[in-house]
Structure 1
Amino acid sequence: MSQPPDNAPEDATASPEAVAASDMAVIARQAIVDAKRVVVGYELFDRSTAHDAHTAASDAALLFNALSYGGAEALVGKLTVFINCTHESLAGGHLELVHPDKVVLEVPTLPEGATPEAIDACIGTFEGLKTRGFKLAFDQQVLRRPYAGWLPMASYIKFDMSAFKPELAAPLVQFARNYSQAELVAEKVETAEQFQRMSDLGVKLFQGYWFAKPSMVQAKTVRPSQAIIIQLINLVRRQASSAEIEDLLKKDPTLSFNLLRFINSSGFGLQCEITSFRHAVMILGLKKLFRWAALLLTTSRAGGSPPAVGTMAVVRGRLMELLAQELLPQEECDNAFVVGVFSMLDTMLGMPLESALGSVALPESVVDALLHDRGVFAPFLALTKACESGDEAAFAYNAGQLQLSNHQVNWAHLQALAWAESLGE
């Protein structure tokens, strides 16, 4: 509910045009702390787009960007995320993609003049969210008589220190304690006096400039083209097999990268890391995969990554997969494909490869090949790069290391090129 005020520091806002041009997901976060200034959570604000009206679409985009692009571990770690919501967005499918333990939904009261029927009609939605495990936060307006039915739904009540006179603090806090089980949060705390007043009343959570101004978290995004996302959506809608969906994921490195990064984010709530495309599809299921793809489509751009980069990455992946089929078990061939495709993430993201790989879970053998040029996949990657560069000495050395003939390698390379070419048809 708290919005960074007009006097927010310059680094808490960003030019939407500059953001779009650089493919940056820009999210501002403001700490929520206890009385000892220990951070217990963050409220997030989207700074990737213009400051237009708060909408269901912007709610979904913020949560999606926070998990998919911002790197949830870097953004909030294991702490709670507070997200402002419209009533429309509370019914949004994007919430099905989030582990409810990680998110508090901040819900506004209805506009002035709302009928008692409209207010009461919201309770069913709140009950459904609570049943699913979500926590709800309201501001002090929920203490007004028409909203009595909402109070049992509140996990948090946030008191905006700029919205009421100091002498009203004690009766408001007491009323909230008498009629709800909610934790109380004092927000927009800007002075020591405000902090002390609320602390003396037993309030234990605080947010505001007196503690911390909003800070920026930026992440380079790698968004698939809209065309490839639409292909995925169409596959899901006709309930294609996991093998068909996995095949599409293998054809587009940006799509597969985003899926693995999303499903392994802390907001998804899994206890183990997912490192293969097939496993990701099985864990997510068709319904959630559709939700994810639909949200990805809304945040993508028409062109995607430069075509040459994506094509080269796909050729690398397919060539490594074909070469590995000569020597390794099938599950290792899948990892060989990942090594090839993700070997160009640094180019796609415009950052060091180590940083890029830090935001997606991969098997140790894959990371060893990509970052340290060692392990079972290293000679396959070196041979693949030699095929691209025409380095005959490197080609001969690595083919010899793998005991592959020139004919085997050249034939696999031709097949990989033809396969990549067929993807655009």
Structure 2
Amino acid sequence: MTESAASTAAPQADNSIVIARQAILDTQRAVFGYELFDRSTGVHEHTAATDAAVLFNALSYAGSENLIGRNTVFINCTHDSLVGAHLELIHPQKVVLEVPVLGPQASSDEIESKVGVLQALKERGFRIALDQNALRKAYTTWLPLANFIKLDMLAFKPELSEPLVKFARASCPKATLVAEKVETPEQYERMAALGVTLFQGYWFAKPTEVKARTLRPSQAVILQLINLVRKQAEIDEIEQLLKKDPTLSFNLLRFINSSGFGLSMEITSFRHAVMILGLKKLFRWAALLLTTSRNTGTPLAVGQTAVVRGRLMELLAAEMLPPEEADNAFVVGVFSLLDVMLGVPLERALESVSLPESVVDALLHHKGVFAPFLELTRACESGDDEAFARAASQLHMSGHQINMAHMQALTWADDLLAGNA
């Protein structure tokens, strides 16, 4: 409905996504919301799959706080995507669904059949935006469901502005009018004088791109998760799979803590994430993740090292700390290689996932309760005898005790990555 074909981008590498956003402003030039569209593939065909991808990628990868903050998100939809499972994964009050009219050959029965779908979306808390094509007589039953009517400034002559605004208000008095594709100050002033309060277009801002490196699990691992959920596996079994693949657990924590999910608390453990999400939504999340992933990713050696680190830290911490702290020690170990996996500084990698302060302190500042365990774990890998002795002494652990834990961690990781643990 807007300049979604503008600001085209070349296809991105498999580990990158690009979300374009264009601001929707009020009369004070404050940002009311953003319209989002995917620029990751360079393909601008608008389908139910692309609708799901742009919303999923925006929440999962691009760092939704940086992308949209607390603002409203406008998403263009096909009618197929309006009944898509991806809409059940997001907080509806954050989202406006831009719904197009049907094709010119649509019958009155086809038009009428969509009313129930729109009504159900409204009842779930979504807001609906229609364009001026919905002001035609055939769509009279849709109009009471509209929260916004978008008026395309390139679709009518200037002298028709006033009668169109009056007709829109009379036809849909509860809807907010949005003037889109505003390209000149004259267009803005004309519509503002008529009482229009929201504006979008090149005169204010062209679409800008938000790029992010992504950490995509392999399709094989995602399929394992889907199969576990389909057979309604125990949470313990699902948690083991999340521990097996750092990319999977990282994406899950980042998604569930995104603003679009709408939680009032931060989720910092894999088990808690699974419990909060539930098997039904976990399945849908995994299915969407599968469609946006490639059969590539982090080299196996890096992922395996991360898993070994996590398990070793968990075993060492279990000797001295409460069980919940041992769980956090596992997270420290696994996420200590995120910079290698993402190819960005660790501080930047951690910006998009919520973690306990003690975990962040160990990873970024080398301090706190987990820091000596991470230092010891790294010393085990390095073969530096002096560093090993120093780290072991700091934790008052014997070399035999540490070596046994390291062997257990290596065996556990081998079994886990082979699917036997």
Q: TM-score range by the shorter chain?
A: over 0.9
The question of 1:118 aligning with 2:76 is answered no
Contact 1:29 1:216 in 2 (8 A): yes
Matches for 1:169-208 after TM superposition, within 5 Å: 169-180=161-172, 181-208=174-201
Q: 2: CA distance between counterparts of 1:51 and 1:403?
A: 58
Aligned to 2:54: 62
Contact 1:24 1:221 in 2 (8 A): yes
Aligned to 2:2: 2
Q: 1: CA distance between counterparts of 2:159 and 2:52?
A: 38
Give the C-alpha shift of residue 4 in structure 1: 3.5
Give the C-alpha shift of residue 423 in structure 1: 2.6
Identify unmatched segments of 5+ residues in structure 2: none
Contact 1:319 1:416 in 2 (8 A): yes
**Residue in structure 1 matching 2:68, options 60, 76, 101:** 76
Give the C-alpha shift of residue 332 in structure 1: 0.3
Aligned to 1:396: 389
Q: 2: CA distance between counterparts of 1:213 and 1:50?
A: 17
Q: 2: CA distance between counterparts of 1:334 and 1:143?
A: 57
Aligned to 2:355: 362
Matches for 1:305-320 after TM superposition, within 5 Å: 305-320=298-313
Q: 1: CA distance between counterparts of 2:186 and 2:260?
A: 36
Aligned to 1:253: 246
Q: Which digits, 9 at most, give the CA deviation of each residue in 1:160-183, with x for residues without a partner?
A: 000112222212211221122110
The question of 1:91 aligning with 2:83 is answered yes
Q: 1: CA distance between counterparts of 2:170 and 2:145?
A: 14
Q: 1: CA distance between counterparts of 2:118 and 2:145?
A: 7
Aligned to 1:387: 380
Q: 2: CA distance between counterparts of 1:122 and 1:300?
A: 32
Give the C-alpha shift of residue 144 in structure 1: 0.3
Contact 1:226 1:304 in 2 (8 A): no
Aligned to 2:261: 268
Matches for 1:218-367 after TM superposition, within 5 Å: 218-367=211-360
Q: Which digits, 9 at most, give the CA deviation of each residue in 1:193-240, with x for residues without a partner?
A: 111111111100000000001111001000001111011101110111
Give the C-alpha shift of residue 52 in structure 1: 4.0
Aligned to 1:424: 417
Cα RMSD over matched residues? Answer: 0.9
Amino acid of the structure 2 residue aligned with 1:13: T
Amino acid of the structure 1 residue aligned with 2:122: K
Identify unmatched segments of 5+ residues in structure 1: none
Q: 1: CA distance between counterparts of 2:158 and 2:236?
A: 63
Aligned to 1:15: 10
Q: 2: CA distance between counterparts of 1:118 and 1:20?
A: 41
Amino acid of the structure 2 residue aligned with 1:50: G
Q: 2: CA distance between counterparts of 1:288 and 1:147?
A: 34
The question of 1:107 aligning with 2:61 is answered no
Amino acid of the structure 1 residue aligned with 2:10: S
Amino acid of the structure 2 residue aligned with 1:28: A
Secondary structure of 1:149's counterpart equals: coil
Contact 2:83 2:117 in 1 (8 A): yes
Give the C-alpha shift of residue 306 in structure 1: 1.0
**Residue in structure 2 matching 1:166, options 158, 178, 195:** 158
TM-score, normalising length: structure 1: 0.97
Contact 2:3 2:181 in 1 (8 A): no
Closer, same or farther in 2 for the Cα pair 1:52/1:190, shift >3 Å? closer
Aligned to 2:40: 48
Q: 1: CA distance between counterparts of 2:398 and 2:371?
A: 18
Percent of residue pairs identical:
69
Give the C-alpha shift of residue 415 in structure 1: 1.0
Secondary structure of 1:20's counterpart equals: coil
Q: 1: CA distance between counterparts of 2:203 and 2:352?
A: 32
Secondary structure of 2:417's counterpart equals: coil
Contact 2:18 2:39 in 1 (8 A): yes
Give the C-alpha shift of residue 324 in structure 1: 0.8
Amino acid of the structure 2 residue aligned with 1:401: Q
Which 10-residue stretch deviates more, 392-401 or 221-230? 392-401
Which 10-residue stretch deviates more, 407-416 or 64-73? 407-416
Amino acid of the structure 2 residue aligned with 1:178: A
The question of 1:138 aligning with 2:133 is answered no
Amino acid of the structure 2 residue aligned with 1:75: L
Q: 1: CA distance between counterparts of 2:263 and 2:77?
A: 24
Q: 2: CA distance between counterparts of 1:52 and 1:209?
A: 19
